[in-house]
């Protein structure tokens, strides 16, 4: 499956992320990443396609639009991204973050305009990359 292969890219980012420099303190970046994930969760609960699309990383949004051959706003609901619930863990890797929730794992990346969701609807698979419902290239 194309999505399963692409998450390998996220795995590489997670492994090599510590080599990347980030802005702000680790605590500040962690808090900002967690806030962005919580905002994404609120948008999911509110069923806000415009907000969800704005919260996506540019490549993730482009991948969704290309694979579905329609605008992000028209197709985001069909992705069946679970509402993740409470945050259990925030891992930072330079400008990358993994947010582990009750029923989902989100991957985010720091852009000039803030943290954006790179992958959502992600399920760990022991010994293999995460399987994600939504992710960029």
Going by pLDDT thresholds of 50, 70 and 90, the confidence category of residue 24 is low
Contacts of residue 42, defined as CB under 8 A and 6 or more positions apart, other chains included, come to none
Domain range for residue 66? Answer: 2-14+21-135
pLDDT tens for each residue of 52-103? 999 999 999 999 999 999 999 999 989 999 999 999 999 999 999 999 999 9
For residue 119, pLDDT over 60 is answered with yes
- Whole-structure pTM value: 0.81
Question: Listing from the earlier edge strand, what are the strands of the sheet with 105-111?
Answer: 87-93, 96-101, 105-111, 114-125, 128-135
Q: What is the CATH number of the domain that holds 31?
A: 3.10.450
Q: What is the mean pLDDT of the chain?
A: 86
Give the Cα separation of 116 and 57 in Å (integer): 5
Count of structural domains, the chain = 1
Query: What's the pLDDT at 10?
Result: 46
Query: What's the pLDDT at 89?
Result: 96
């Amino acid at each position: 499956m194309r999505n399963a292969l692409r998450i390998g890219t996220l795995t590489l980012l997670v492994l090599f992320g510590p080599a990347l420099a980030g802005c702000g303190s680790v605590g500040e970046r962690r808090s900002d990443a967690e806030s962005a994930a919580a905002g994404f969760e609120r948008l999911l609960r509110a069923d806000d396609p415009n907000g969800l699309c704005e919260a996506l990383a540019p490549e993730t949004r482009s991948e969704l639009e290309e694979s579905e051959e329609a605008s992000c706003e028209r197709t985001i609901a069909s992705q069946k991204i679970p509402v993740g619930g409470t945050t259990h863990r925030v891992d930072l890797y330079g400008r990358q973050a993994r947010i582990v929730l009750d029923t989902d794992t989100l991957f985010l990346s720091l852009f000039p305009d803030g943290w954006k969701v790179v992958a959502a609807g992600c399920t760990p698979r022991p010994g293999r990359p995460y399987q994600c419902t939504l992710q960029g290239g």
